[in-house]
């Protein structure tokens, strides 16, 4: 399957009546990346994905694929494929016929489409289930079939809308490793929508964080996590405190808070053992909540309980000023 295509969104906008679901976003997805599009429910992720796929019309702006404006092309003519949240497999068709379905629609003969479907089933390790019906498969297996079905058209960009949300937590972690491996093998762009920051960090080479119909921040996963630009991103990505210091808002990583003999006075409000570290929620004298992640060895040298007085310190250089 050939290399990917660059994808550019230019002032892309979606309105449903009075609802502005996507508000003029601009973004350049470079070929061959695993990109996670994340943000809270209702922020416009699915609408964006569906406009890229052609399952939703654009209200204004354009979708440019490999230099061509595809905004008004039907889905099958774009070089994209979409894997839906609920897999949407045909219950009365075998696994092989589900995978071959879009080839049948294109009028490809049975022998050729079965050959192609078998190749894809091999790719997702589902060869031995080819003759089963979807109802005879587990959730993870159905998901692999849905992936094979999306990939059978040899898309340049695979669009995945919350592909792991129907799986139990254990399987979700296993399937995300499989998705990542598949993307590397195919070398095409995956755009994966999720509302989970852990999933986005685990998978995305690049993150695009949306909020209220716009892109709030985008960049390499580590950069977005380590250097959130806004309070929203700091809070949404987690692991950060947002505190008011001398009139401006700063982000401070919870693992950079030092609980000791010096610094700001605070009272412990909750203690949660998390294995490698202990999460200590505290309240300062000015009423701000500050979370400290303390390495467990260090914590148990002098354990704290709710109600205890503590002092909080940090290295000034670790404070990260947020945009107002």
Interacting residue ranges for Mg ion, rule: CB under 5 A: 46
Asked if 273 touches ligand ADP (CB under 6 A), the answer is no
DSSP 201-249: HHH-SEEEEEETTEEEEEEEHHHHHHS--BHHHHHHH-SEEEEEETTEE
For 22, the 3-state DSSP assignment is strand
Dihedral pair phi/psi, residue 138, rounded to 5°: -75, 170
HSE-up of 210 (CA within 13 Å, CB side)? 29
Q: By rule CB under 6 A, what count of residues binds ligand ADP? A: 11
Q: Is 192 in the site for ligand ADP (CB under 6 A)?
A: no
- Which partner in ligand ADP, Mg ion, none is near 44 (CB below 5 to 8 A by kind)? ligand ADP
The CA distance from 135 to 88, in Å, is 12
211, 236 contact by CB (below 8 A): yes
Residue 26 beta carbon to ligand ADP: minimum distance, rounded to whole angstroms: 17
Which of ligand ADP, Mg ion, none does residue 47 bind to, with CB < 5 to 8 Å depending on kind?
ligand ADP
Write down the least CB distance from residue 42 to Mg ion, Å: 8
Instruction: Compute the distance between CA of residue 302 and CA of residue 277 in angstroms, rounded to an integer.
Output: 14
CB of 312 to Mg ion, least distance (A): 38
Residues 32-91 contacting ligand ADP, CB under 6 A: 39, 41-47
Cβ atoms of residues 267 and 310 within 8 Å: yes
- Nearest approach, Cβ of residue 144 and ligand ADP (Å): 23
x-or-dash pattern for ligand ADP, window 13-42, by CB under 6 A? ---x--x-x-----------------x-xx
211 makes contact with ligand ADP (CB under 6 A): no
Q: Of the two residues 4 and 75, which places its CB atom closer to ligand ADP in the complex? A: 75
CA-to-CA distance for 127 and 149, rounded, in angstroms?
13
172 near ligand ADP, judged by CB under 6 A: no
- What is the contact surface with ligand ADP in residues (CB under 6 A)? 16, 19, 21, 39, 41-47
């Amino acid at each position: 399957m050939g290399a990917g295509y660059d994808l550019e969104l230019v002032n892309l906008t979606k309105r449903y009546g009075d609802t502005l679901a996507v508000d003029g976003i601009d973004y350049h997805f470079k070929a061959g990346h695993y990109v996670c599009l994340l943000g809270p429910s209702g922020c416009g992720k699915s609408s964006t994905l569906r406009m890229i796929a052609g399952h939703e019309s654009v209200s204004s702006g354009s979708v440019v694929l490999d230099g061509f404006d595809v905004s008004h092309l039907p889905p099958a003519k774009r070089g994209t494929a979409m894997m839906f949240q609920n897999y949407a497999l045909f219950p009365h068709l075998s696994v092989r016929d589900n995978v071959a379905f879009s080839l049948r629609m294109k009028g490809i003969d049975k022998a050729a489409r079965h050959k192609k479907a078998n190749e894809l089933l091999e790719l997702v390790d589902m060869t031995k289930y080819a003759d089963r019906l979807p109802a005879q498969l587990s959730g993870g297996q159905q998901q692999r079939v849905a992936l094979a079905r999306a990939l059978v058209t040899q898309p340049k960009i695979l669009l995945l809308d919350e592909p792991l949300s129907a799986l139990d937590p254990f399987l979700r972690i296993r399937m995300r490793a499989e998705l990542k491996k598949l993307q590397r093998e195919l070398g095409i762009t995956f755009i994966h929508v999720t509302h989970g920051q852990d999933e986005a960090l685990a998978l995305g080479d690049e993150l695009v964080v949306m909020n209220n119909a716009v892109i709030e921040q985008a960049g390499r996963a580590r950069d977005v996590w380590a250097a959130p630009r806004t309070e929203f991103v700091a809070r949404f990505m987690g692991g950060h405190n947002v505190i008011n210091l001398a009139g401006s808002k700063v982000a401070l990583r919870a693992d950079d808070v030092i609980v000791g003999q010096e610094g700001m006075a605070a009272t412990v409000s909750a203690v949660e053992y998390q294995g490698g570290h202990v999460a200590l929620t505290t309240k300062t004298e000015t009423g701000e909540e500050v979370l400290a992640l303390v390495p467990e060895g260090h914590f148990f040298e002098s354990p704290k309980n709710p109600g205890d007085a503590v002092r909080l310190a940090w290295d000034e250089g670790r404070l990260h000023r947020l945009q107002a």
